[in-house]
Structure 1
């Protein structure tokens, strides 16, 4: 059993010390089972009648909670419709006739002694989903539910007994728990992709197909270049996302420490970074897992492969805590602000500082060996991000200057804004991979192996986005040909260490849940054993024979006699 991933972080980051003493240890000890609730109907618009409200009543010093019919718990591992007895509720706070925006509340949903719902609470399960059906994700409705004033998470904002409201130093403080969830999503995306790589690469060493010479031994399919092109770029991406996740977590901890002493200057950077990298890594993982599944042929379609379970979980990451396009647009909004700040001569955070200087106008690579230089690769991604971000900002500005309203201008530029945010996240991931290699102490053999992975990740990305670098003449057709040639060479160079690189993820068979990806390589014996254990194979003649097949066969036999 795992803790809800939202409730405990929200208590840790949003509760005052008194609330922590009351709730945190209970949550850690499973004395309470928590979940996270947020209105999903009319989400983001707060259409009248479709928002969850918490109206303060000073006569009783309580909040009155009401929500629309079928307001749902957010789709998220741990959002439990039938299991949870408490929740973190995001609701619009009203006091003294004024609306103060979204705030987080602790709400008890069920009695602790017999698990019955409290008066005014309705919950239920939302039914089967694409994946993770072991989680009872649910809906919830509140009808004049009352909670004590002290249940407003009050680390940053408070309300006095008489209803006087004390706002936080920034209205973004309430999203701290959500930001942590987005940071963690990069970790989970890397984990899902690592599992997929482990299965596909191990199986590709077991599977043999198509003799190269008549009468010769069939080669392992991992030795085919087309198979390596499916496997190794995903392996490189898994490592890139692991290192990115580590760095984002460190940055999150640093900024949280700053916030604790009242410094909120880096909150926007954290929001832009976490939103973009959550979207970028989750979509790349989702697409990468499908490539890895296909690399296993027909067996990849079987539940025995482990891919259906892993893919179902990874698919959720693309939409949970913000769908890909929505989050990329949030990052784009931050980038556009940074362009304006850079133009004014302001100092920008490290992750976005490239906007303050003009990048190189041409790639300096003269040979195929040059194109492997890590600095040259980082410069290419810096140039692409700088150009696309600035062009998106200019197009948006031109729309506004033409007299179009803000919302119209923004909508008409979604395409370029999303692409700019994606380029920024791609640059960040490559830059971080390179910095990890430069700053981390390791043996030379290990550095050589990881450097090849870093080169492959960067070059494969350039190959797939060559148009952006050819469009403004930064790279030539000859240089793109160098990139393609070196991708092929790196596939060969990575092949001897491919199995060791997935073994290094150290995912036990019990967690991997894949017959194809077994550590011992005994795939086919165990596939046969797994198939034999199917419920359909427990009797020699299945009961459906008497109900369906026997009458059909008997009728056909009689008609044949006639």
Structure 2
């Protein structure tokens, strides 16, 4: 088994061989999972230990959750068994060459033709080309395609369609479908085991019921019918993906810190006295001050990932009951935490490389490839700067509601006490207070309240 998962020869391989090895590993891991007769939840946990980008990430992490979140019961019964058995392999085709974060600006169209009971999917411009979906370039047979739904001459905005893009017999692209790999990415190994692709459609016809219809449907005669199920249900998939990203941040940072800690314990430099060994690098305060906070952060992100798993379960249960009250807070939390954890982890991996001196620059250390594989997380699922602006918008809106008597709740509850937080000084009175969780939480709440008020009232002198 170890030969299947060996990594020592990766740095000397070209991209084609890296990609083939990834497929071999994924296939072998899948055969093991099947032989163990695991539940879906158990299998999902086991798949998470395959620690390099592969087509399975998007199949299990986005393709299947999209069907679960936006497909009707009938559509789930049709597609999920095929996806679970990997009879079909799916990807998530949302981002286009011209639009990423601005989903409402997507240009791909799906126009309903009542004469044939079909949608005609088309790529009207170069910028409408689907661009970046992982697993699309070579592997996927199906895709969740986001396109503008047009029926009876009216554009109803972006909706999700499930589309077959390759033949199940010979794996060739279907008529009217152009699909290809977009090329080499940053770093030799890194993310190059993922076959990110491009996708274009030349008036490709698909059955009407390939529209995922949990939120809205189109009748046989072309009438657009909202289902009554709120569009906010789509937030469930977003929370699921961002929850996974936060847990991945802990995993990647943990690996980098482990390498740096072990190196720092073995490496010795300077301080030789009377024939004694040189001092371990880890004993230098300059090394500790840079390394130990990253070690603590890796633990913190692990606990944060567990909390976000609870958040996902809670928001999904609320959505099923028609309770959308926590959605603004959930969106702000997932956006902010995705941004902070990925930025900190990317910077942390690079810091660990520096902490290993020249050896950290060697591919054999594992750190260069780890950085190259992780840094895309700062961009996918939302650019980090844009996501932080969304958090700021939520805080501004929450603050503006205080005058109406509506008290904020959840993670933003502290803003209801903004006046008191702005009036009080730091509660630290003695050295031991710095490890008092209540005092630390108060300090963070006061700092956040001050910054929020400052942003809302530029002429405020409370800071």
TM tier, smaller: 0.7 to 0.9
Report the TM-score, using the length of structure 1 for normalisation: 0.67
Q: Structure 2 matches for 1:297-446, cutoff 5 A?
A: 297-358=357-418, 359-360=420-421, 361-395=424-458
Please tell me the root mean square deviation across aligned C-alpha atoms, in Å: 2.1
Q: Name which of 183, 192, 215 aligns with 1:127.
A: 183
Q: After alignment, is 30-39 or 343-352 more displaced?
A: 343-352
Mapped to 1, the partners of 2:414 and 2:138 lie a distance apart of 49
Mapped to 1, the partners of 2:115 and 2:235 lie a distance apart of 30
C-alpha contact 1:342 1:356 (8 A) present in aligned 2: yes
Question: Which whole-Å deviations, capped at 9, do the CAs of 1:265-322 have from their partners, x for residues lacking one?
Answer: 2222221111111011000101111111100011100111111121112201100011
Distance change (3 Å), C-alpha of 1:320 and 1:39: closer
5+ residue gaps, structure 1: 399-470, 474-562
Q: Name which of 140, 147, 167 aligns with 1:111.
A: 167
C-alpha contact 1:93 1:102 (8 A) present in aligned 2: yes
Distance change (3 Å), C-alpha of 1:249 and 1:200: same
Mapped to 2, the partners of 1:328 and 1:391 lie a distance apart of 16
Q: Report the counterpart of residue 157 of structure 1 in structure 2.
A: 216
Post-superposition offset of 1:65: 0.7
2:320 corresponds to 1:260: yes
- The alignment of Structure 1 onto Structure 2 pairs a total of residues equal to 397
C-alpha contact 2:137 2:198 (8 A) present in aligned 1: yes
C-alpha contact 1:39 1:51 (8 A) present in aligned 2: no
Distance change (3 Å), C-alpha of 1:367 and 1:46: closer
Mapped to 2, the partners of 1:171 and 1:9 lie a distance apart of 15
- Runs (4+) off by over 3 Å: 44-48, 70-76, 168-176
Q: Structure 2 matches for 1:68-83, cutoff 5 A?
A: 68-69=125-126, 71-73=128-130, 75=132, 78-83=134-139
Distance change (3 Å), C-alpha of 1:95 and 1:248: same
5+ residue gaps, structure 2: 1-25, 27-55
SS in 2 for 1:163: coil
Post-superposition offset of 1:71: 4.3
C-alpha contact 1:343 1:356 (8 A) present in aligned 2: no
Q: After alignment, is 309-318 or 34-43 more displaced?
A: 34-43
Question: Which whole-Å deviations, capped at 9, do the CAs of 1:408-464 have from their partners, x for residues lacking one?
Answer: xxxxxxxxxxxxxxxxxxxxxxxxxxxxxxxxxxxxxxxxxxxxxxxxxxxxxxxxx
2:184 corresponds to 1:148: no
Distance change (3 Å), C-alpha of 1:472 and 1:237: farther
Larger radius of gyration, structure 1 or 2?
Answer: 1
Q: Name which of 350, 356, 359 aligns with 1:290.
A: 350
Q: Report the counterpart of residue 77 of structure 2 in structure 1.
A: 21
Report the TM-score, using the length of structure 2 for normalisation: 0.81
Post-superposition offset of 1:73: 4.4
Mapped to 1, the partners of 2:86 and 2:263 lie a distance apart of 40
C-alpha contact 1:70 1:139 (8 A) present in aligned 2: no
